[in-house]
Structure 1
Amino acid sequence: MKLGVRLAGVLLVSGAALACPLVARAATTTLYVDRTVAGCSDAGPGTSTTPYCTVTKGVAKLAAGFTLYIGDGTYSETIKPVVSGTADAPITITAWPGRHPVLTPTSFGANISSRAYLTLSGLTFTGTKYDGVYVTGSHDITVSGNTVTGAGQPVSGQTAYGISIRSSSSSVVSGNDVNHNNGSGILLTSGSTGILVSGNAASFNAEGYRRNANGINVISAGNTVLRNVTHDNEDSGIQFYTGGNDNLAALNVTYNNGDHGIDDLNVTGGRLIGNTVYRNCTTGINVEGTSGNYVVSNNVAVDNAVYPAYNGIACTRRAGNIGIWDSAPASTTVDHNLVWLTTSGKMYAFGTTYTSLAAMQAATHQESHGVQADPRFVSAGSWNLHIGAGSAAIDRGDSGVSGAQSTDIQGLARVDDPATANTFAEGPRRYDDLGAYEYQP
């Protein structure tokens, strides 16, 4: 009988080598970084028991299909992937479950350039010199569940954005908390299309030396801004400026911002559907300049442009809960909106201003299903803008308007309130509520 042994993956039988290679070891698909682990080593295997010490080392080892978990500690390093994932094998860079990494580099927090099929999630970026998360020339990127704060400096030429998406496509920015950045919280620049900005919180973003920072700033076409909460930003909560055509803003809550709740200037083809806009410095929902072909429907706009100042910023520019200005009235459709003032002020603008919805309706024949009534917010003083029982916003929406959603900002299904007649509702569901929140009887 011939004896055989294995050497270097080859079976040797009585001195003769036979073609019998060993099965290759499966590639490692999970890597770990944690500088707080005593045995961490950048020369090690990057396992959960012997993780890398630096984010740079972990990122350098990534390949399609890999996940990199980042553990506890503060890292003064930029996440800059050098490879892309694929549709079948994406790359994920995320927080190690149960651990809380903080990245404080002096450059970008994350720099994702010319990459694809990559997810960045669960991380905290703070005090970066440039944008907290910077994505450019990429596609199929997901930025989710991160906290980004303190980017840039409140000095001309040194401001920075929380999250910026530049010349990229087919990507998602969701569930992030972007606050106290020295620039807009989230930015979509020209050339970015097919971006879903959903479920984010954007607050207290300010350049500091001028009124310019928004919660979400969109200057590119064909994107969706959905279910976000923006408040206490230096400029508008959500802004669409020149180049930001054919975007949808739906089910957003935006309040106490230094300019508008939602601002649209020199853009076309926009849809503002089912938003709740409360107590912003100037016009709550604002469509102005050469904007055209706009649809403004199913919104709740209350107590906007009635306060003299916001953090020292004068609020005396354009007034009204909903304002359609300049050349915009000729091609803008407004209907199924609720407006209300608890103090004196301008209720509506449609070319000129009106102190009541009835006056606006009579002059323009717009807003035939609109209502001027107290929305009965649960607790406006504590910014709880859910609508309460008996609200005129209940069962009054148009579920057939383009951009209407079958669930509300919290993902709750539409409900037909048995105590409310559906007299003014339209569309396939004759019980959608106005604004971002669906009343749950």
Structure 2
Amino acid sequence: MTLVGRTSAAVVLSGLMLANPLIARGATTDLFVDKSMPNCSDSGPGTATTPYCTVVKGVSKLAAGFTLNIGDGTYAETIKPAVSGTASAPIVITAWPGRNPVLSPASFGANISSRSFVTVSGLTFSGTKYDGVYVTGSNNITVTGNTVTGAGQPVSGKTVPGISIRGSSDSVVSSNNVHHNNGTGILVTAGSTGILVTGNSASFNAEGYRRNANGINVISPGNTVLRNVTHDNEDSGIQFYTGGDNNLAALNVTYNNGDHGIDDLNVTGGRLIGNTVYRNCTTGINVEGTSGNYQVIDNVAVDNGVYPAYNGISCARRAGNIGIWDSAPSSTTVDHNLVWLTTSGKMYAFGTTFTSLAAMQAATHQEAHGVQADPRFVSPAAWNLRLQAGSAAIDRGDSGVSGAQSSDIEGLPRVDDPATSNAFAEGPRTYDDLGAYEYQP
């Protein structure tokens, strides 16, 4: 949309023109940056035909309702909006459609500080000195569809996360590819609540000098981690640590990580619902320390904690597909989970360890609807953890548990498989599958 000042404009529009010189000179709500275009100019109009040359210039011209489109080139500049958007007129900072900008400054890639209603999308942040995308003291921020890689350095004091949400609320981190950062992939710190982390891939993140970097790390209450894939991270795929109470992790796939698939330490009120957790170094789903009031339901946990080492990292720690340790068993509910080992090892821990689900059930009277069986993954060697026909995970879930979803990690609907009995399922839908993937007969 173009707003043009005219001599016959009404008094209201004249007031807007005086207040906003961009409107007065006929600027649009779409601004453009592309340093690769020979006619770019920071003193020009910032249009598609005469874009700005620098990101800083484009960002300085933003106002509520504006979109900044960034074009080709590598920019050693930080995106740092000076103003906020509104619910009806957000600010959007995005890749110019069809172009591939890279932000690579010796600072933050994007620094969203004390702002509201700002979206950062479709950009690549590479080799930033600090966090690729840094959000602090803000609300209603959306970080979506970006690639973040190479943030920080693999030495003490210089590791940083790819994306961090700090002391912020009601925001979304979605569909980002966060990989090979020198620190945790996605970090949600204390003071952040109402954060939805969904549809992201977080992989190969590592501090490099110690086992500490996670795919996703949440240490604040009241957030949701949904439909993410985390793999080959130095520490756990998904982690909830002290302060990360009352969070939901559902429909995540987490495999081949250097510690747990999903790790929970000293947190309460957590829900781990319908995740697929495969071949992680130690306990696949881990609840320990002073954790309590946990629900671990509808998950598939296979071949966790049975390998001696991961990329040189010892796995000789707590093992088992699902482990409920320390004080956690007294207030934790586990049910409708599938566990399986293709080799010998610890199948389950609930206060003590068990080599079979049957032994755990007899000793604890938990997992009444659980099953020890081959999940029949399509191709575990290729990390394709979807279900094949005949899997014991089909039509066996509890769709009534808080946090259960009506579609799977790929957005596919729940489907009743006519070849499978629903005898062990519960809830309003008696055909939800276990784990993150719904078999489509």
TM-score, normalisation: structure 2: 0.95
**Preserved CA contact (<8 Å) 1:406 1:414:** yes
Deviation by residue 1:17-38 (Cα, 9 ceiling, x = unmatched) = xx99989666521100000011
Distance in 1, matches of 2:174 and 2:151, equals: 19
Counterpart for residue 202 of structure 1: 202
Counterpart for residue 386 of structure 1: 386
Counterpart for residue 182 of structure 1: 182
**Preserved CA contact (<8 Å) 1:32 1:52:** yes
Counterpart for residue 426 of structure 1: 426
Matches within 5 A, 1:102-141: 102-141=102-141
Counterpart for residue 440 of structure 1: 440
Correspondence 1:366 to 2:366: yes
Partner amino acid, structure 2, of 1:406 = S
Distance in 2, matches of 1:318 and 1:426, equals: 31
Distance 1:53 1:357, change over 3 A: same
Partner amino acid, structure 2, of 1:130 = Y
Counterpart for residue 311 of structure 1: 311
1:10 CA displacement: 7.6
Counterpart for residue 9 of structure 1: 7
Partner amino acid, structure 2, of 1:418 = P
- Structure 1 residue runs of 5 or longer lacking an equivalent are 1-7, 12-18
Query: Runs (4+) of structure 1 moved beyond 4 Å?
Result: 19-27
Partner amino acid, structure 2, of 1:310 = Y
Partner amino acid, structure 2, of 1:230 = T
**Preserved CA contact (<8 Å) 2:228 2:251:** yes
Counterpart for residue 29 of structure 2: 29
Distance in 1, matches of 2:350 and 2:421, equals: 29
TM-score, normalisation: structure 1: 0.95
Deviation by residue 1:194-236 (Cα, 9 ceiling, x = unmatched) = 0000000000000000000000000000000000000000000
Distance 1:112 1:43, change over 3 A: same
Distance in 2, matches of 1:319 and 1:20, equals: 69
**Preserved CA contact (<8 Å) 1:9 1:21:** no
Matches within 5 A, 1:6-85: 9=7, 28-85=28-85
Larger mean Cα displacement after TM superposition, 215-224 or 22-31: 22-31
Identity of aligned residues (%): 82
**Preserved CA contact (<8 Å) 2:261 2:280:** yes
1:348 CA displacement: 0.2
- Structure 2 residue runs of 5 or longer lacking an equivalent are 1-5, 18-23
**Preserved CA contact (<8 Å) 1:136 1:167:** yes
**Preserved CA contact (<8 Å) 1:338 1:371:** yes
Distance 1:10 1:86, change over 3 A: closer
Partner amino acid, structure 1, of 2:191 = G
Distance 1:117 1:20, change over 3 A: closer
Matches within 5 A, 1:38-437: 38-437=38-437
Aligned residue for 1:119, secondary structure, equals strand
Deviation by residue 1:278-326 (Cα, 9 ceiling, x = unmatched) = 0000000000000000000000000000000001010010010000000
Partner amino acid, structure 2, of 1:256 = N
Distance in 2, matches of 1:424 and 1:35, equals: 61
Counterpart for residue 3 of structure 1: none
Distance 1:331 1:76, change over 3 A: same
**Rg larger in structure:** 1
Distance 1:241 1:32, change over 3 A: same
Distance in 1, matches of 2:72 and 2:253, equals: 33
Aligned residue for 2:330, secondary structure, equals helix
Distance in 1, matches of 2:257 and 2:95, equals: 32
1:83 CA displacement: 0.3
Task: Name the count of aligned residue pairs.
Answer: 427
Distance in 2, matches of 1:10 and 1:224, equals: 52
Deviation by residue 1:379-400 (Cα, 9 ceiling, x = unmatched) = 0000000010000000000000
Partner amino acid, structure 1, of 2:383 = W
Partner amino acid, structure 1, of 2:173 = V
Aligned residue for 2:358, secondary structure, equals helix
Partner amino acid, structure 2, of 1:89 = A
Aligned residue for 1:193, secondary structure, equals coil
Partner amino acid, structure 1, of 2:359 = A
Distance in 2, matches of 1:190 and 1:75, equals: 31
Deviation by residue 1:312-368 (Cα, 9 ceiling, x = unmatched) = 010010010000000000000000000000000000000000000000000000000
Counterpart for residue 16 of structure 1: none
Distance in 2, matches of 1:354 and 1:155, equals: 39
Distance in 1, matches of 2:323 and 2:339, equals: 11
